[in-house]
Structure 1
């Protein structure tokens, strides 16, 4: 019993970076309503302040894959925690738009690192039978961070104290920095660096003595068969994993999710709500997000990744179409306003049980051990690139084409995402990371044999 409590704390601190990602991305949705006048923001600079965190995230995720493969998962998370502290304090004290953008980029570097490393770290610590649930802790922590930011926004909304909204991110940042000192290194990374004794000690702590030998041998066998590096990431047998990873990462953002997270208050004010009421509405969305992520954690290892992704696509597309048509036919009415609230709520429900946690679970699952860091890094770089494009363009497109046409565009992208998952994504439920890797190799060997037989005929 004591060992289980210890492991629970390990997973908690391992996923704490998700709280910071959620808080720093969610808090801007309320703070932006009050900093506009003080910083003199227009539609472009508003989008720049919101999306500048993603500029840093692109660089952070691009660099973190190689860094975590070279120096280890634990040191990389520690570096991200330091950047979270610097960025949180800097944005709270920023005297101008330029300083705000600069420190939001620093936060983005931390976000890019954490979104690459935390899912990877949790995936490598977790046993295969519960890897989906434990890896989903990252998404749960993200949703908790978002909800926390909404509650803080609402608490300070009457005073318009946007600097306090941003500055309170220091609390979980310091918690992560302290907590990571007590975390073990990934046993898979340790074995890849020849540190077998340390790896076995971690496996013994996480799994118990009986499974240490079996799992250590599986990891070493996978390690012996690979070359590693960017060249291998582009090898034909790894290519299906790379296509799936890049596609899932990019489409998770392009179906419009983070426009709801970042701009929910703006969307609510656009259909007639006052600022404080709009922020309170986002608290409801944040609460739903957390609760439905808990549902996803319960079922992800039972139902599977792919069925939940397809279900989520269908639900999100329907909610976006209904939202758009309601605003087209009913305009600025109380009915349209409340339908917007309901549709956004439905969108968050189905996203939180599908694309929200599952993409973060699958990205590190898809890639072989020696390229898992760089593969996850490249995929999260694509994720943040898609997020940047959507976030930066949202306020401009909202002004130019209106909310109805914009959400219809996201619905069309949702249909494309459904087709991508159906044809390009394979199920990973119930398989060890080494078994998933072996499946990739077996499929490639099969295609080579087919090509050889065809040539001979």
Structure 2
């Protein structure tokens, strides 16, 4: 939140000697050596262990900033998960119909879609760090508003405001982590955001269960204000990403951040890669807008991103997260037992996402998505038959809970973290905010549509037919993944851009 790196204060950063140095190559002005010719002799040096390795100091820095940034993911998770336990008690106080419940749940997602588009543009203009800070302020206001809502219209409006923060954070946080992380660690560090999302959902389930005896849904919703304040304060103590700094002319500051997160040699390499990408961007256009997507390969990448966002939602992951207690109530469990039982869903989600953190940098992104989609479809198929036979059997109710947990285990260890990771990886820097916002908007609109119609459809056609529809969508998503989703593991963001440009050019030709 410091003004030190503002464009308006840029001239304050440049001393008279630096003004004279403008004629020097960018590498020398940034304090790095110019690239040496391949034939230049090298003087003998003492052997150094793993010159490209990230040292303990850099790892501490990365842990600190990524953990702090991922508070946004925890807020995202809490605000989307807490509604599942609050709805049964809100239903009594505000006299809700099933359509009201779907509207209150899904209005946040409409706000998230708007917030994703706006947040992407804000992140491009003012920086990823400030965008997260503003999201934290809106999180705080929205959490207090939903806790104090006197009626359904006020609640709907407050949930929309809260959704603006959720959408903005869902763009800015993965973007921030992807641009800050070294290529070898990018999958794990960006997927930390997914772990924080499900951790926030688990926290919501625990809070719901603890407050279930009192039925205090207002406190359930209002507690989100505390971590929101922590996000606002924390953003004052983390740096901006080197790519945003470099793209906006703050090369010296970009080098400072790179040196905190990379080895000296990798800092030099990263600087030169970013310089090449920035020069290419300047040759194409000074500022990015929707006209950029007239370029065939960029249009193709945007299509892939929107498809990935749809895939992440279409199989019903969030329908189960939002309405788990309601689904369990249909099998004969009481409201309080259903709310407490969803803690198991949260625990499985967190454990699965933690496993996913160990997989994303070891196995291909495409491979993980395929495995997760096949396993998830099998669980949904089994769930459709179990729900159709449960009646009022408590034993079968817990079989239903087990299948829901197994489905989420597949989704949260593979599809969900990989989808967020790919959205943060596949777009070039100059359109990352715009394209990331559009993709995340598609994700939230898919989430909105499914959440709005889930309960009415469940009432109209029953659990078996509803989950068979999700199975059919899962098959379509698998076909999309096999045909369109690129592999990005082990590539720098510049290499990802080059490969996607080449693939898109071949397709257009």
Q: TM-score range by the shorter chain?
A: over 0.9
More helix by share: 1
Q: What does 1:131-170 align with in structure 2 at a 5 Å threshold?
A: 131-170=186-225
Please give the alpha-carbon distance, in whole angstroms, between the structure 1 residues aligned to 2:416 and 2:504.
30
Segments of 4+ moved more than 3 angstroms: 329-332, 444-448
Q: What does 1:193-208 align with in structure 2 at a 5 Å threshold?
A: 193-208=248-263
TM-score (norm 2): 0.86
Please give the alpha-carbon distance, in whole angstroms, between the structure 2 residues aligned to 1:334 and 1:33.
20
Report deviation, 1:12. Answer: 0.5
Does structure 1 conserve the Cα–Cα contact (< 8 Å) formed by 2:333 and 2:394?
A: no
Please give the alpha-carbon distance, in whole angstroms, between the structure 2 residues aligned to 1:447 and 1:160.
57
Say whether residues 1:66 and 2:126 are aligned partners.
no
Give CA-to-partner distance per residue, 1:236-261, whole Å, 9 cap, x none: 01133212110010121111000111
Match for residue 479 of structure 2 among 419, 423, 443: 419
Give CA-to-partner distance per residue, 1:348-406, whole Å, 9 cap, x none: 11001111111110002111111111111100000000000000101111111111110
Partner of 1:32: 87
Report deviation, 1:14. Answer: 1.4
Does structure 1 conserve the Cα–Cα contact (< 8 Å) formed by 2:300 and 2:504?
A: no
Aligned length in residues:
449
Match for residue 380 of structure 2 among 273, 295, 320: 320
Determine helix, strand or coil for the equivalent of 1:136: helix
Please give the alpha-carbon distance, in whole angstroms, between the structure 1 residues aligned to 2:461 and 2:175.
39
Report deviation, 1:115. Answer: 0.5
TM-score (norm 1): 0.96
Q: What does 1:166-181 align with in structure 2 at a 5 Å threshold?
A: 166-181=221-236
Partner of 1:266: 326
Does structure 2 conserve the Cα–Cα contact (< 8 Å) formed by 1:233 and 1:375?
A: no
When the two chains are superposed, the root-mean-square deviation of aligned CA atoms in Å is 1.2
Q: Structure 1 residues 391 and 348 mapped into 2: Cα distance closer, same or farther (>3 Å)?
A: same
Give CA-to-partner distance per residue, 1:265-320, whole Å, 9 cap, x none: 10111111111111111101101111111100001110121111001111111111
Match for residue 367 of structure 2 among 307, 314, 329: 307
Partner of 2:30: none
Q: What does 1:41-56 align with in structure 2 at a 5 Å threshold?
A: 41-56=96-111
Please give the alpha-carbon distance, in whole angstroms, between the structure 2 residues aligned to 1:445 and 1:130.
29
Please give the alpha-carbon distance, in whole angstroms, between the structure 2 residues aligned to 1:330 and 1:198.
61
Match for residue 440 of structure 2 among 375, 380, 399: 380
Q: Structure 1 residues 66 and 338 mapped into 2: Cα distance closer, same or farther (>3 Å)?
A: same
> Gapped runs of 5+ residues in structure 2?
1-55
Please give the alpha-carbon distance, in whole angstroms, between the structure 2 residues aligned to 1:317 and 1:2.
43
Does structure 2 conserve the Cα–Cα contact (< 8 Å) formed by 1:251 and 1:386?
A: no
Please give the alpha-carbon distance, in whole angstroms, between the structure 2 residues aligned to 1:417 and 1:447.
21
Does structure 1 conserve the Cα–Cα contact (< 8 Å) formed by 2:207 and 2:220?
A: yes
Q: Structure 1 residues 399 and 29 mapped into 2: Cα distance closer, same or farther (>3 Å)?
A: same
> Gapped runs of 5+ residues in structure 1?
452-457
Match for residue 83 of structure 1 among 129, 138, 141: 138
Give CA-to-partner distance per residue, 1:132-152, whole Å, 9 cap, x none: 000001100001100000000
Please give the alpha-carbon distance, in whole angstroms, between the structure 2 residues aligned to 1:420 and 1:3.
38
Partner of 2:314: 254
